[in-house]
Structure 1
Amino acid sequence: MVMPGWEYGERPATARPSMSGRQELRRTVPQSRLDVLSADRVLQLQREAGNAATSDLVEEERSPVLDTIASGGDALHDDVRADMESRLGASFGDVRVHTDAAAAQSAQSVGARAYTVGPDVVFQRDAYDPHSEEGRTTLAHELTHVMQQREGPVAGTPTAGGISVSDPGDRFERAASENASRVLSAPAPVASAVQRDIGEEGADIAGAVAQREDAAGEPEEEISEEAG
């Protein structure tokens, strides 16, 4: 990750970091520990190995989760949104679903069938199927995570790439599973004429939380982005 508030020098168009520079960085920064670097340490690495090598290392260590949730995504289809809003009692006008190849790769990188970061819900290949029973359950579960994250942060253990992973059996995951089962087991209620809507601008990525459904169908874990 790139620490907020710090800008790296422009990379020369023809310059690439030398192998010695990259090797020096790898010796200095153990793999998967870039997330512990302070701003002062980054500046020191720039002096020792050069801006290009340091910037490349930062880019390599950045989780694809962060790029995916910044890519835009698509709004829920009107019928799907109306059904889920009536069942869950919340507005999902700001929700964006990500189902392209980059989203699938991102979900695979964290071992997830689907994961949620703020209003962004990212799906593994073919996992977004809101008209099947399994797909609707997954979507209701993830939209419950959207609602949870509107209420405040979810704790996690820091890992590499700027994300944190929490215990798969935590109260947020249990609540999401129970809520999805509950709302889908009953007929859809009539949608309220007035529902609270939140801003369409989307959540600030820094400090966001991602919650995921394990690809193998095991209890979920949640992932949070560590603010720089």
Structure 2
Amino acid sequence: MRFAAPRRARVGTRAAQHRRRASPATRTFERQADDAAARVARADARDVARSLTPAPAARPPVRTSRGASLAPSTRARLEQRFGAELVAVRIHADRNAAAAADAEHALAFTAGANIFFTSGAFAPDSASGFALLAHEIAHVLQQTGRRGDDGRIHATAMEGEGAVQLAGKPFPRPTAVLPLDVTKGDNNHSISCSRPTPACTAARPRSGPWR
């Protein structure tokens, strides 16, 4: 997850507390996503997905639409550089997605194969917008990437069943959930974040290859 310009927070405020609670797992996932985005910015990048550590898949904290697929040209560019198939990725850039991102003081956040953007942040044709998208795609692959029968890594519709944590309290589930084709994950679930936020928690990376 990438964040909007930070506001100054006093010690003891929620923002300051969340910064103090950054876990080693969160930092690992974020470093990997930052590194992946930097590598994907280069036209000769290949197989970037192989450097990512698996993270437990999350269920989106909001479900307002099925989202949109990546544009074919954008998807082809990312697929070539990540070395992964990204058909399952869903982009949420409507008003409700923006409200969800704004609630986290985020430019974007990822849950499973779903990426939510604040208003104006989804701009894959600009250098900064493409870097932001690549960062979030790395999180999609951390959470849902699996090797297919063709030997290629695929983003999947995997989601988790666990409750997202809100400052030590369960984040309320939405009352209406649109159906998705879901492959169940394990019992540990997280939304990928670049720093911990109310709707974002991180689980410890599992050891060993996931591909």
> Into which bin does the TM-score normalised by the smaller protein fall?
0.3 to 0.5
Query: What TM-score, normalized to structure 1?
Result: 0.44
State the TM-score, normalized to the length of structure 2: 0.47
Higher helix share: 1
